[in-house]
Structure 1
Amino acid sequence: MMNPKNSISQIKRLIGRKYNDPELQRDLQSLPYAVTEGPDGYPLIHARYLGEARTFTPTQVLGMVLSNLKGIAEKNLNAAVVDCCIGIPVYFNELQRRAVLDAATIAGLHPLHLIHETTATALAYGIYKTDLPETDQLNVAFVDIGHASMQVCIAGFKKGQLKILAHSYDRSLGGRDFDEALFQHFAAKFKEQYKIDVFQNARACLRLRAACEKLKKMLSANPEAPLNIECLMDEKDVRGFIKRDEFEQISIPILERVKQPLEKALADAGLTIENVHMVEVVGSGSCVPAIIKILTEFFKKDPRHSMNASECVARGCALQCAILSPTFKVRDFQVNESFPFSVAFSWKSAAPGTQNGAAENLQSTVVFPRGNPIPSVKALTFYRSGTFSVDVQYVAGAELQQPAKISTYTVGPFQSTTSERAKLKVKVRLNLHGIVSVESATLLEEEDKPVQMEADTKVEAPKKVKKTNIPVAELVYGGMFPTDVQKAVEKEFEMALQDRVMEETKDRKNAVEAYIYDMRNKQGDPIEERYKESVNRGAVIDQLVRCVNSYREAAVSNDPRFDHIDISEKEKVLNECVEAEAWLREKKLQQDSLPKYVNPILSSADVLKKTETLDRFCKPIMTKPRPAPAKPATPEAPPTPPPQASEQQQPEALAYLLEEEEIEVPVSKEPAKEDVKMDTDEAPNNALPQGSDETDVNMQDAKGTADAPRVENGVPESGDKPLQMEADTKLLAHNCSHGIKLDVIEWKLEEKGPNPTLLL
């Protein structure tokens, strides 16, 4: 809350109550705005409106709230809203109910019913039930633990109807009392720990109360919870911690008061715990586990949470309004409400044996006892010879309402045609709103007229009763006079008109601002954009030209770096460069032909996009890496030789090649061209690490070398049988001090014709 001193809340705690009411004085201690006593003894709320200090009555403020709600409803429904149903606490007395009706009149609403909140909850619960019994009554207890009060209602359900059996309440037991317990606990703790007194700062009190409310909700689901508030007061951050057990311990005085309304409701309904079939819990304070535990222990059954704890009253009010309104068609469901108070009528009467009321005494009778159905009409008969008064007041009891005297009705003046006291019937009504009033007064007079018969005998005719309406004057104690209500309506209309003017002014200002921005964009932005394009266009064109030239030169050059790229790929690059250059030339000619005040055809963004497209196409082709050189063939594993014959059957040439022969080759720094050519990736022999005695050497063109055995016409020098030798020889080079030793490591014998052929 950004402006607590000018933000009015909890208006239901103020309306229709005297300023010196003890309960009101306790409530004022937790309110952040200023409230003083008015000239009539009722509270006045101080606030600033349009920069001026103003005072408002609680009825006026409630009228503002209802007017705002009406505007929201009309905006969403797109239709005028007049009829409504308003939910009120069951403990509202006559004066408070009349104040709510006056507030609705100020807001331009027509309440069809002031329904009790618990009754609205029961209606929202039962109207959708399709399994209600037809004969046996289903008794359900509704426990509403709201922000500031606790209300209990026991309702009996049958198919198509509900009947309120009993009401009970505690006007000052609600969720805020648990918040207050936490607030007092942490206020004392912070004063001791951080040396700050939150009671000296309204904003600090408000922030701490809001944090305590969140803490209460956290303790409903967790066994412990922290409290952290930054810069609560004097630029100090505060921290706290509390467990659920400790919270319940400091809330014991509040929890001890929960059972009393439950016991009273059960007693007034004339039921036992076994006769209560279900228990429904609603309200913002119903989340406290300690309360649920008390309800479970009292009713011997687990309470249910099948209804929306915050919206059930509003739903019930909407359903009741639809039932009473001829505009909507709703399922037939009868609501039998009961009155929570006892109301008596008192008057002064003449003592027996006296005439014309020479001596008078006070008489009283209870007309509407507790539990009386709502609405209800009764008639009282009086015998009077002149004007008299009737007082309406609450019956003294445990729940005495203040003020006890509700209103006074003056009946008369009237004149009787006889000398005796006249007979008057006074009709009193308890209407749907729970307001008691004298509806009418009628003077009854008998007329006796003889009827002449043919036999000259007189026979008495039926008595004829003459009815005359008598005026009745009403005086309600503490209520607003009709003239005051009309003045409040006019003030509310002026304030609503002022709000509408301010809202429309704000809309017009926003429209003007939007028009200015729009015109600035239309007039200024295109000029600025054309100027930026004319400045930046040349640079981005040069960039595209450089990109085209660089890729073209690379594609047509004979540089060895690009000789591995296929010609078809280079042609693609050249074609892309030609296309980009043609596009640029065409667009540039079109742009040069336009005046500078026309939007450009060739924009810098288009040129940059073309450059990126060309680069994205050509770069992968021109930067393609050169393919790696072919790796040498991996030597094949020698095949398993076929089964060999005995040494006596082996050919002489094979026996000759299988003999080891050492050939010494003179060591020279550079071998002759006709010598064996060796390609190796290994380091020179003298660079081999110590302990390495051999390396693989690839020998090429091994046939006819100086180190191979000389063969003439296929016949070895030793004169053995002719052999045909074809092979790429693999040698092992041994690093020896006297030369290189060559060993044959792979051979293959292939028979061709009558002579075998050895493939080396």
Structure 2
Amino acid sequence: MKDYYNICAFISCILTITLDRNFQVNDGFPFSIALSWNGDSQNTPQQTLVFPKGNAIPSTKVLTFFKSSTFEVDVLYVDPNGLQIPQKISTYTIGPFQTSKGEKAKLKVKVRLNIHGTVTVDSAIMLEDDVEVPVSSANEAPNDTMKMDTDDAPSDPAVASDVNMQEPKSADTAEAAHAAENGPQDTEEKSVPMETDAKVEPSKKKVKKITVPVHELVYGALAAADLQKAVEKEYEMALQDRVMEETKEKKNAVEAYVYDMRNKLYDKYSDFVTSEDKEGLIAKLQEVEDWLYEDGEDETKGVYIAKLEELKKVGDPIELRFKEWEIRSSAVSQLVYCINSFREAAQSTDQKFEHIDMSEKRKVINECSEAETWLIEKKQQQDALPKHANSVLLAADLKKKAETLDRFCKPIMTKPKPAPKPQTPPVAENQAPEPQTPEQQQSGGESTASEGAAEEPRAEQMETDKPEGATDPSA
């Protein structure tokens, strides 16, 4: 415990130093953890230190194994003599797995030290090399994107020679057949397929990743069935805690209602309840209070809910009468303001209301008069009742009446003015010709002359177009 306080004091000193340097506090693991497994040839155990003492938490490391069959990996303490605990922590069985080539498989095993200080083997992945078909230079862009997942490998000369031999042979054969069928062709036409021929590249090695199952055995831990039972028991206990908390909240709600209602009955609710109902409710509140501290100390949530509803059945009408009396005046004022506003607008001679038809204005005035009559009648009925009687003029009814009036009158009184008709200027019957400049007169004369000159050839053409057998009328 003393070391714990020293560590806390050290961390506090670091965090309170006001210097330009940035400090960082990292958690360190207090033990050394190693992995142990059996070799394939001599079946001798091999061991490697994975997380030395003081290793940062959390931490993840990946180990590479070359195995031909299922194997086991033990997680153990390096020096457990002073710890008085077993050296072996857990055992992980990695497999089964099978390689396609029958050689030793290359496995990447991920070991994790989590924030709780627990060492686990998270996953195991087997890597296999697959040779891809050689690709042409026309597909260079896709090859560049796949280089991240592939590794360069020495090309197989047999495969390369087969590809190099087959592709030119097929090209020459196709060319010879084409030449024999169509005859000799131009050299330019022959060079086109040569430029588009694919260039063979060395084959590439693609890494295939296969997930290998990992089975865990933790020494001193609960079995899977016992662990499941413990989880279910924990869930039941959490449910009980929640029910107990909700029961306590309902009990406190009953107690708070008893105190609050009793105080208000002597204060602001006194005018809104008869003396007989007041005495009966106070007696009921006292009875419930005595029950809470005696027989109702450890009741269920449903019992407390029923008690609260029983009290509210008597107390809610009193509270409702008080709230209606409190907000009624503001609701009445709002309705009166709405009635007066629309009626004044309908009776106004302002220019902004001149475009509204008089019959429409009369509808607004009649609607306002009906709402005012309803309000006067209801208000007279309400004023004749005592405060402890149920209200006949409710704030909700007043609000609804104001909304109805607004919905009817507002579209009429806010109707926009019609757009004015566009005025066209009068057209003069006899307009004097505009004076022309000398240039315009000259251009006008030239155009007239050109028109005359253009008409003369047409007249001559019409005279020459005579039938061969026609006679001259002058003769």
TM-score (ref. length: structure 2): 0.38
- Point out the structure with max Rg over C-alpha: 1
Larger helix fraction of residues: 2
TM-score, normalization by structure 1:
0.25
Specify which structure has the higher proportion of strand. 1
